[in-house]
Amino acid sequence: MTRPVRARIDLQAVTHNLSVVRQAAPQSRVMAVIKANAYGHGVIPVTRALMKADAFAVASLEEAMQLREAGISHDIVLLEGVFDPEELELAITHQLQLVVHCEEQVSWLEGFKSGASVHLWLKVNTGMNRLGFSPQTALAMWQRLQRLSYVKTNCLRWLSHLACADEADNPLNSTQLVRFTEVTHFSETLQGTGAERSLANSAALLTRPDMHFEWVRPGIMLYGASPMASNHELEVELQPVMTLESRLIAVHQRAKGETIGYGQDWTCPQDMPVGVVAIGYGDGYPRHAPSGTPMLVNGKTVALAGRVSMDLICVDLRNQADAKAGDIVTLWGVGVPVEKVAQHVGTISYELLCGVTSRVPRFYQSN
């Protein structure tokens, strides 16, 4: 038997989650965010399950080229644009759409000659304070980009990113909306017609219809995890896409007072069975997961016991006395939401999903 760790990827769930996006934002086009290897799920199969999306968004030219090489001819947006002027040529050859977030990028574009038509997304900083032009500067940049011969009027668009959309009642959300609306309205008066706009990530898509505009940019919800910081207010039925699983490779009876694993971090409170699972931080299971982090053995919840090692973890099997080597362990996915594991670990579902390492084979099912 080979090492039993695997990530099962349910491609039908991806397609289902896209239909949830469509229902939530029926008036908008969908830019599906598939950066970071589709949040760890495997970008090519996931993209194929998302063929009904209107565009894809990635973080780098390399990620975009991977899609082009797989024959995907959809619109693809580089969320940070190009990183140097050499990339510009390649990006345009491959018909990629570029975010423009800084003055250097504007200058590179001004130095570039192209016969092809290029789509640009001008990024405005409305309160995230990470990338993008201030609303004041953005208008001057808009005018410079408008003058480029290879940028047609309807090919220049607005984009901004929300800092706190996962907290539905954070007042910054509405502040960002007001700033975004103001700056984009001004460009409308400049050019006489409205430009297309994009503001909403998954969280805003599900909670703020007033932020949908012409394009929504869902990421995490396509993978079936809730985008909200606290999980309660969502009524939509997202289906988890990744189920990370392995198997028990040993079960030992331990005596009360024996300690488990590195650093003697966990002590058996009684005579009890302790299972050993073939997964560890070398696979992307988080090393900082504390004892008590839930997982399923044969469909029943059990708890991590002791420190996570590179290839192995131990579990408290007191409520699973019949469990034996070979039994399936689900670390997250169907039956154990990745958000719940993330909460125990003090991180977010995004990091857990992206962190599954290349050593873990992905098994794709489309039912």
Ligand X SMILES: *Cc1c(COP(=O)(O)O)cnc(C)c1O
DSSP 124: B
Kindly list the catalytic residues: 35, 262
- 233 vs 322 by CB, closer to ligand X: 233
Q: State the nearest-atom distance from the C-beta of 41 to ligand X, in Å.
A: 12
Structure tokens at 74: 């959809």
Q: Note whether 289 and 206 are within 8 A (CB).
A: no
| Residue 5 φ then ψ, to 5° | -70, 140
Q: State the nearest-atom distance from the C-beta of 240 to ligand X, in Å.
A: 15
Burial zone of 255 (CB within 10 Å; 0-12 exposed, 13-18 middle, 19+ buried): exposed
Q: State the nearest-atom distance from the C-beta of 166 to ligand X, in Å.
A: 7
For residue 132, count other CB atoms closer than 10 A to its CB.
23
Structure tokens at 366: 């489309």
Q: Which helix (H) or strand (E) element contains residue 173?
A: helix 172-191
Q: Using CB under 6 A, list all residues that contact ligand X.
A: 33, 35, 79, 161, 201-203, 217-220, 227
Q: State the nearest-atom distance from the C-beta of 80 to ligand X, in Å.
A: 8
Q: Note whether 249 and 285 are within 8 A (CB).
A: no
- Torsion, Cα 211 212 213 218, to 10 degrees, reads 120
- 162 vs 345 by CB, closer to ligand X: 162
- 219 vs 337 by CB, closer to ligand X: 219
- 34 vs 341 by CB, closer to ligand X: 34
| Residue 148 φ then ψ, to 5° | -65, 130
Q: State the nearest-atom distance from the C-beta of 37 to ligand X, in Å.
A: 13
- 131 vs 272 by CB, closer to ligand X: 131
Q: Closest residue to ligand X, Cβ-based?
A: 219
